[in-house]
Amino acid sequence: MLWQKELPAADLVIRGARVLDPVEGIDARLEVRIDAGTIAEVAERIDANEHRVVEADGLILAPAFVDPHVHLRTPGREDEETIASGTAAAAAGGYCAILAMPNTDPVVDSAVTLAALVETARREAEVPVGFLAAITRGQRGEELTEMGELADSGAVAFSDDGVPVASAGLMRRALQYASTTDRPLALHCEEPTLSHGGHVHEGRVAAELGFGGYPSVAESVAVERDLSLAGYERGRVHVLHLSAAESVDALRRARVAGVTASGEATPHHLVLTDDAVRSLDPNVKMNPPLRAEQDRLALLEALRDGTI
Amino acid sequence: MIRLVKDDLRPPATPPKRHLLSVGDLTRDDIDRLLGTARTFAAALERHVKKLPTLKGHLVVNLFYESSTRTSSSFELAAKRLSADTLTVKSVGSSVDKGESLKDTALTLGAYDPDVIVIRHPQIGAPQLVARVTDAHVVNAGDGKHQHPTQALLDLYTLREEFERLDGLHVAIVGDVLHSRVARSLVQAFALVGIRATLVGPPALLPRELPAETTVDIEAIRDADVVYVLRMQNERMEPGANFVPSLREYTARWGITPERLRPGQKVMHPGPMNRGVEIDPRVADSSDSLITAEVRSGLVVRMAVLYDLLTGGPVGVQALAAAEVA
Ligand SMILES: [Zn+2]
């Protein structure tokens, strides 16, 4: 379920744009007519009639993006982001729908907290927004949330994103129980005793600069574990922000073996490597970290072949 | 498009001021020049000229966020020997302690118009931040596990005084390389001047993929001209860290004892030493130990660095050398 504020349905004709739609195989200078917010016609020449005309010479017109991994920081850190600001940014960036992660303060682990978010989204959201709820209460990795009630209240999936579910036993229970809600688990895969709170890939750059390394294997052992459990319990999982070639291999193998699993990668992991950390710009330190060139190429390959 | 993003992440174009932030900023020529200047200062100090008027009227601020008696006093004395004014700010008991951000502290101190800010900070990249927000020349006196360039320079100076050359020397660096900014700086500096480095230590304390020869075999030190012993930091050896099973076991397998050294093999240590842990007291106090020479080198090398930054390098050095001769 997605929510947004009431917006007047637009009647538009967009002219002059290069229309790109890889799914439909379109790449041409075309005009597009929108009736009451819905695409009604794509053609070489369209009469405007009463529609507002948008001149889009030199611009690309393409199907909007969907971002299933957004942090709206609401509630608790409205100084960083709000539903209004985050969805406005999404609209400006060409996204028609986003999903917000539940690692807020308080964590979205109860129907009451979720209901308040839905209420705010109905007033403020510029694009449709959906909400994930936590797998464990307070994301403490100890007790499951009431996934049934949360799903009924509109949670689209469950995730402890920001922190991994450290216990394999609890992960198994989460997979078992989530299957009764028909919602997937979105997994932040990280073995904390191997990542040690690091933000830089363990490799030559970390060695030279002195950063505590966060090795690829800290991610891939967690990916392997969770995919094994998902296969065993026939659960549905989505692996968040993949960064390492080994993790991508694990996901590809699991999918071939019939596990119901999907995965994602961030744009920055697709275009940057740990080489960027040499700038000492703190913005390029992140979890999971930017990795080596071979990892970046593996992510691109996985994007091409549909693993991601 | 992707290129643009990458370029945006780079620090702004060449900074207008010269700084000493990393050994990576230095060329072979810079090193030769700095060591030459240091030697000139050493000669002057030997002639009982305790104070040179060279930097009169300049202000050197020492900003120390980690306790360090030896480095901060070495910089302070270096500045005083050159007649500069000094201001030392330590994190304990200053507004630094009250949660003021590094940027705000740097801006506040910058308002005094210092010519040089010497900074030690536990965060990697802190000196780069100070260099961006103030107009002073910045000297990195140690940032996290990243860099300690004046330590590398003073060690090169010590080696050159001892061996009268740098090219072709072989130095074994032994111990906790992983957590050591000294080791990182030395590896870079040694590569610049043609010294062969071999890193020796327990596997968990040798960083993966550091571009250098590494081995866990303590016997490897035998081939080296110099054994450079790193400090075993007790705080790294907390229970549960398991880098090594115990300090006792570390000492037994990697501690530098007279038995493990060839006669005449030189030994260095950046200090402060844990006698009886990484280095046997008999080694530390032997005539083959260069450890007190390193401390003396520290003073003249830091004088050279301050002088070099404030007088614009090569030209200034030549002028000074001429003055000394006359
Ligand atoms: Zn995450």
* Interval B92-103 mean pLDDT: 67
- Residue B209's pLDDT band (boundaries 50, 70, 90)? confident
Summarize pLDDT for A53-101 with one digit per residue, the tens: 999 999 999 999 999 999 999 999 999 999 999 999 999 999 999 999 9
CA of A219 to the centre of ligand 1 (A): 11
The tokens 């002195």 sit on which residue?
Answer: A210
pLDDT score at B4? 37
CA–CA gap between residue B299 and residue B39 (Å, rounded): 11
CA–CA gap between residue A130 and residue A121 (Å, rounded): 9
Report how far apart, in Å, the C-alpha atoms of B240 and of each of A181, A193, A229, B8, B257 are: 40, 11, 29, 41, 28
Q: Is the Cβ of B314 closer than 8 Å to some Cβ of chain A?
A: no
User: How much of chain B, in percent, has pLDDT values that exceed 70?
Assistant: 87
CA of A101 to the centre of ligand 1 (A): 9
Indicate the DSSP class of residue B24. G
Summarize pLDDT for A97-107 with one digit per residue, the tens: 999 999 999 99
Dihedral angle, C-alpha B34, B36, B40, B46, nearest 10 ° = 100
B23 vs chain A: nearest CA distance in angstroms? 11
pLDDT at B64 over 70: yes
CB atoms within 10 A of CB A186: 26
CA–CA gap between residue B277 and residue B294 (Å, rounded): 20
CA–CA gap between residue A141 and residue B20 (Å, rounded): 46
Q: Is the Cβ of A280 closer than 8 Å to some Cβ of chain B?
A: yes
Dihedral angle, C-alpha B16, B121, B55, B36, nearest 10 ° = -80
Dihedral angle, C-alpha A273, A279, A284, A285, nearest 10 ° = 100
Average pLDDT over all residues of chain A:
96
pLDDT score at B97? 56
pLDDT score at A276? 97
Letter string b/e over residues B26-54, b meaning 16 or more CB atoms within 10 A of that residue's CB: beeebbebbbbbbbbbbebbeeeeeebeb
pLDDT score at A307? 96
Kindly tell me the sign of the dihedral angle through the C-alpha atoms of B19, B25, B29, B32.
positive
User: Who contacts B253 (Cβ-Cβ below 8 Å, separation ≥6)?
Assistant: B202, B218
Q: What is the ipTM of this complex?
A: 0.77
pLDDT at B314 over 80: no
Closest CA to A128 of A1, A263, A306: A1
- What residues pack around ion ligand 1 (CB closer than 5 A)? A 161, 188
- Residue B233's pLDDT band (boundaries 50, 70, 90)? confident
CA of A141 to the centre of ligand 1 (A): 14
Which residue would you say has higher pLDDT here, A8 or A207? A207
Verify whether the Cβ–Cβ distance B208 to A207 is below 8 Å: yes
* Interval B44-61 mean pLDDT: 89
CA of A166 to the centre of ligand 1 (A): 13
pLDDT score at A221? 98
pLDDT score at B16? 54
- Residue B134's pLDDT band (boundaries 50, 70, 90)? very high
Average pLDDT over all residues of chain B:
88
CB atoms within 10 A of CB A274: 26
pLDDT score at B94? 59
- As separate numbers, helices (DSSP H) first and strands (DSSP E) second, chain A gives 10, 16
User: How much of chain B, in percent, has pLDDT values that exceed 90?
Assistant: 72
Of A210, A271, A281, the CB nearest to B144: A210
CB atoms within 10 A of CB A54: 16
What is the amino acid identity at position A63?
A: P
Q: Is the Cβ of A297 closer than 8 Å to some Cβ of chain B?
A: no
* Interval B153-168 mean pLDDT: 98
pLDDT score at B49? 74
pLDDT at B6 over 50: no
Verify whether the Cβ–Cβ distance B5 to A272 is below 8 Å: yes
DSSP string, A65-94: EEEEEE---TTT-TTT--HHHHHHHHHHTT
CA–CA gap between residue A266 and residue A255 (Å, rounded): 20
What residues 109-168 of chain A have any CB closer than 8 A to a CB of chain B?
none
For helices B149-163 and B291-311, the axis angle rounded to 10 degrees is: 120
Return the structure tokens found at B58.
């300049």
The tokens 């637009």 sit on which residue?
Answer: A10
Chain B CB contacts of A207 below 8 Å = 207-210
Give chain B's domains with CATH numbers: 16-146+296-313 (3.40.50.1370), 150-291 (3.40.50.1370)
Residue of A nearest to B187 (CA): A208
* Interval B292-320 mean pLDDT: 80
CB atoms within 10 A of CB A219: 30
User: Who contacts A82 (Cβ-Cβ below 8 Å, separation ≥6)?
Assistant: A72, A73, A74, A124
pLDDT score at B24? 92
What residues 6-65 of chain B have any CB closer than 8 A to a CB of chain A?
6, 9-11
Closest CA to B72 of B117, B42, B104: B117
For helices B28-46 and B181-193, the axis angle rounded to 10 degrees is: 100
Number of CB pairs, chain A paired with chain B, less than 8 A apart: 51
Strand partners, B88: B62
pLDDT score at B210? 87
Return the structure tokens found at B44.
């002057």
- Count of residues for chain B? 326
Closest CA to B32 of B164, B140, B157, B149: B157
CA–CA gap between residue A257 and residue A99 (Å, rounded): 28
pLDDT score at A26? 94
pLDDT score at B101? 86
pLDDT at B113 over 90: yes
* Interval B215-223 mean pLDDT: 96
Summarize pLDDT for A139-165 with one digit per residue, the tens: 999 999 999 999 999 999 999 999 999
Give chain A's domains with CATH numbers: 12-60 (2.30.40.10), 66-305 (3.20.20.140)
Return the structure tokens found at A4.
């947004």
pLDDT score at B99? 61
Summarize pLDDT for B262-277 with one digit per residue, the tens: 999 999 999 999 999 9
Strand partners, A26: A21
CA–CA gap between residue B166 and residue B72 (Å, rounded): 27
Strand partners, A95: A65
Indicate the DSSP class of residue B30. H
What residues 70-129 of chain B have any CB closer than 8 A to a CB of chain A?
124-125, 128
What is the amino acid identity at position A75?
A: P
Residue of A nearest to B1 (CA): A271
- Residue B234's pLDDT band (boundaries 50, 70, 90)? confident
CA of A286 to the centre of ligand 1 (A): 10
- Residue B324's pLDDT band (boundaries 50, 70, 90)? very low
- As separate numbers, helices (DSSP H) first and strands (DSSP E) second, chain B gives 11, 9
pLDDT score at B93? 55
SS3 content of chain A, % helix, strand, coil (to 5): 35, 20, 45
Strands B59-64 and B116-121: parallel
Chain A CB contacts of B147 below 8 Å = 210
Answer left, alpha or beta for residue A155, where phi above 0 means left and psi between -120 and 50 means alpha. Answer: beta
The tokens 């040089």 sit on which residue?
Answer: B116
Return the structure tokens found at B305.
């660095």
- Residue B1's pLDDT band (boundaries 50, 70, 90)? very low
Strand partners, B61: B87, B117
Verify whether the Cβ–Cβ distance B147 to A210 is below 8 Å: yes
CA of A169 to the centre of ligand 1 (A): 20
Summarize pLDDT for A251-306 with one digit per residue, the tens: 999 999 999 999 999 999 999 999 999 999 989 999 999 999 999 999 999 999 99
A211 vs chain B: nearest CA distance in angstroms? 7
B120 vs chain A: nearest CA distance in angstroms? 15
pLDDT at B34 over 70: yes
pLDDT score at B317? 39
Mutate to test the interface with B, among A208, A269, A278 (most CBs of B within 10 A): A208
Indicate the DSSP class of residue B222. G
The tokens 């020049």 sit on which residue?
Answer: B33
Verify whether the Cβ–Cβ distance A204 to B211 is below 8 Å: yes
What is the amino acid identity at position B311?
A: T
pTM confidence score: 0.83
Indicate the DSSP class of residue B319. H
pLDDT score at B313? 55
User: How much of chain A, in percent, has pLDDT values that exceed 90?
Assistant: 95
- At residue A33, the 3 state secondary structure works out as strand
* Interval A161-171 mean pLDDT: 94
CA of A116 to the centre of ligand 1 (A): 23
A261, A223 contact by CB (below 8 A): no
